[in-house]
Structure 1
Amino acid sequence: MGVKSLLNGTLAQVEKSFSPNESQFASAPNCSMNLPTLTSSGVIRVSVTFLLFIFSVSSNVTFLVIQRRKRASRLKLLLHNLAAANLVETLVVMPMDGAWNITVQWAGGQFLCKALNFLKLFSMYCPALMMVLLSLDRYLVITKPLASRAAGLHTGKYIIAATWLLSLLLALPQLWLFKMLHYTEPCAFSQCATLESFQGQWDQTVYNFFTFAFLFIVPLFIMLICNFKIINEMTKWLHPNANQIDLKRTRNGIPKARMKTMKMTIAFITSFMICWTPYYLVGIWYWFDPELHNKLPEPVNHFLVVFGLLNPCLDPLIYAYFS
């Protein structure tokens, strides 16, 4: 029940690792193997997830409370929505992951099967896309300050609202793909999965890649470009041959304040990359080696998923450090 089920031909690219291994599910009807059960490594995963849930909820709520006291700005609005996105991901993904690992089978019925898998992917899109907005905003502030100032707070509100809406639209296919599957003979077993939802391997591959691209590849590509531009501009400010305007701004302390927000943005992006890159790389590996689910030890599967769930916990700590 981990990354080994990431791309085994039924669930979409990313959300699969938050559900029991369907290769085990497929063997359930003929009882040629024991039905999947909660293992000792699964117990550790559930326990760690529960601790992360408590920490993430408390830290992100604190983050939101602190942000409300700050002076209105586009950066405050972006950080506020980033914390809200992290909180949504925490409240949906972590309890669902823990409960599903305990029950192994799906015990929530058809409605919750569709609704929760839709909310799960929605809650994973939101932080990734919000991080892209934060990166683009800081890039504009440091490289095109006049254009950034002209955009104003209201423009930022519209773009953020569009980002939440885009996350919702991208997750909508989950409502059609996921369904309850019941087996009664020779073994009683129920699961929430996308088996038989695709017409063929090509349809499934396209959807998997689409999900993977918008959850990781596109956000990572944009964030890396913005990071490079930001660091390049910051280097110019610190260069001994900087022009008189840059030197004057440095003496006035403006770049110093911006430098802190730039470093904080880079730290947010770095946290996202470190936490999720191993998880997604294993997913890519599975595309080229479908037998990976038999080769990768179960504790490694659990570790990669839990390591990814660290991301919403780290953002409030990063903000606290730079504030």
Structure 2
Amino acid sequence: MEDLSTLNVTTSKLYHSNLLNQSLNASLTNFQEFVFNRRLLLNVIAYCIMFMIGTVSNISVFVAAYRRSRIGSSQFLRTNVHSMVLHLTVADLIVTIIVIPVEIFWRISVQWYIGNLCCKGFMFLRAFGFYLSSMTLVCLSLDRYIAISQPLATLEPRSNRRRGRIMLLCAWIISGFCALPQAIYTLYNHS
């Protein structure tokens, strides 16, 4: 009977020793991820290209949509589509102008030096931009669905515009709520 208990203790020690070795090896391999390498350089180059193309294209779309919504007093020019494209461009500009440069800095520095509050704010804006872009596309799709399935309902411009504003307001609020956990629960300690 003593042999079995000794065997059980020995296997337990070996098991825990093996787990310790695996965790030490895992921490050493994870430490290698915090070194600027070729993969991160390719990420930085890709992010720089996306930043340049995204900034130029989103600003030009924003200017065109803004001018289109402000030119003339015609109700036809101020449709929900133009308003939603304007909001979609704002969401994409949040990602392009705020998220991508911070991602570039993060990839170059390999570590986060700005502090926990900025990390939470950045993670919130990162998620918020993507959620807002997706929600605005959903609003645009729903608006076009209503326009096709109920063409007479879209002839009244006042209710049509009101529906579009409510949909966009819901998109902003839902995106904020969906991104809120990123601002609350993001604390990573890699040391």
Q: Percent identity?
A: 27
Query: Which structure shows the higher helix fraction?
Result: 2
Tell me, in whole angstroms, the C-alpha distance in 1 between the residues paired with 2:129 and 2:173.
Answer: 12
Task: Select the residue among 160, 165, 177 that pairs with 1:152.
Answer: 160
Listed as ranges, the matches of 1:228-267 within 5 Å are none
Aligned residue for 1:35, secondary structure, equals helix
Counterpart of 2:91 in structure 1 is 85
Q: Deviations over 1:127-164 (max 9, x none)?
A: 11111111111111112111233432122112212211
Tell me the residue number matched to 1:41: 39
1:161 maps to 169
Who wins on radius of gyration, i.e. which is larger? 2
SS at match of 1:63: helix
- Distance, in Å, in 1 between the alignment partners of 2:187 and 2:178 is 18
Query: Number of paired residues?
Result: 158
**Taking CA–CA contacts closer than 8 Å with sequence separation of 6 or more, which of the two structures ends up with the larger relative contact order?**
1
Query: Hey, what's the Cα distance between the residues in 2 that align with 1:77 and 1:67?
Result: 8
Task: Tell me how far apart the structure 2 counterparts of residues 182 and 86 of structure 1 sit (CA, whole Å).
Answer: 31
Which whole-Å CA distance do the structure 2 matches of 1:27 and 1:120 have between them? Answer: 32
Kindly indicate whether the alpha-carbon contact (under 8 Å) linking 1:28 and 1:35 is maintained by their aligned counterparts in 2.
no
Segments of 5+ residues of structure 2 without an aligned counterpart are 1-22, 69-76
1:81 and 1:130 in contact (8 A); partners too: yes
Deviation (angstroms), 1:68: 1.9
Matches within 5 A, 1:218-229: none
Question: Among residues 127, 140, 146, which one is paired with 2:146 in the alignment?
Answer: 140
**Structure 1 residues 153 and 27, CA, compared in 2 at 3 Å: closer, same or farther?**
farther
Counterparts of 1:163-242 in structure 2, within 5 Å, are 163-181=171-189, 183=191
Residue of structure 1 equivalent to 2:104: 98
Where in structure 1 are there 5+ consecutive unaligned residues?
A: 1-25, 184-323
Query: Taking structure 2 as the reference length, what is the TM-score of the superposition?
Result: 0.74
How has the CA–CA distance of structure 1 residues 52 and 28 changed in structure 2, closer, same or farther, with 3 Å as cutoff?
farther
Question: RMSD across aligned C-alpha pairs, in angstroms?
Answer: 2.2
Inter-CA distance 45–83: structure 2 relative to 1 (3 Å threshold): same
Letter in 1 for 2:41: V
- Deviation, 1:27, is 6.1
1:133 aligned partner, one-letter code: C
